[in-house]
Amino acid sequence: MTVSEEQRNAITTWLKDGASLADVQRRLKDEFDIVMTYMDVRLLVIDIGAEVQDKPEPEPKKKTPAPATESGAATGDELHTQSGQTDEADPGMSESSSDQIGGKVAVSVDRLVVPGAMVSGNVTFSDGVNARWMIDRMGRFGLEPDVDGYQPVDEDMQQFQLELREELQRMGYA
């Protein structure tokens, strides 16, 4: 379908103002009585050389991991915190952080798998740190936390493995 120069200019303006392809499709119908499929609108946008503006993604909240000693081992205070024990006299433990430590590991599986993976998803550890996980087509596991250098505690990793296994079995992967 051909469109006039006026219609091309209108489409370009809409896209510069942040309209999506669905918005352009709807406005073409409403304002110019032009009915087009979504794919036709996409091809028209390419033909006229316009670009759809990407919506800015919100930045993920970064949490800082607990500091480790030079050898990478946790200090006594960190072990106390990681074990889930709370000490009422410990001034460094806020009420919200003690609630998070006793929290649960939450696992989700992506409906649309990331490229190169057989299965992928997200995990939120008991301390609130999020991470992306994947299993590639060779069966290799990958974990990418939102916080650089973050290492989940052993209990969280064990709970993550159990919940991931259960979720994958429920979805028919096992």
Short-list 137, 135, 145, CA closest to 62: 145
**Model pLDDT for residues 49-98, shown as the tens digit of each residue:** 888 877 666 666 665 555 544 444 444 444 344 434 434 333 333 233 33
Is the pTM for the entire model greater than 0.75?
A: no
Furthest C-alpha separation in the chain: 75
Give the β-pairing of 141-145 and 130-136: antiparallel
**Model pLDDT for residues 126-141, shown as the tens digit of each residue:** 999 999 999 998 889 8
